[in-house]
Amino acid sequence: MEEPDLIDLDDISRDNVLIKKMISEALPFTREQYIVMFYEDEGIPSPWTDVHEDRLPPVFRDTQSKQVREAIANLGEAIGVTYTGEIPR
């Protein structure tokens, strides 16, 4: 994603401290960078769930991730494989 101006973001994302830091320090303005910064001390959760997805600011949320995870889980059940839940890219 191209680095935006704060004015172009939704209110929640615009007021986010980490997003402001990403922009002010010219860090890559990507979902992956935000996740690394957000979970810096704890490590990135595995499996990645809807609860984790909901903690992301709207600008970095993957709106299809829940549907994708459900589809993969359903496919896994159909073929007898357990879905482990990796971070959607």
In this predicted structure, what is the pLDDT of residue 66?
64
Environment class of residue 34 by beta-carbon count within 10 Å: exposed (0-12), middle (13-18) or buried (19+)? Answer: buried
Per-residue pLDDT tens digits for 4-62: 666 667 677 878 899 999 988 999 999 999 999 999 988 999 988 888 988 899 888 88
* pTM to 2 decimal places: 0.63
In this predicted structure, what is the pLDDT of residue 27?
92
Does residue 17 or residue 77 have the better pLDDT? 17
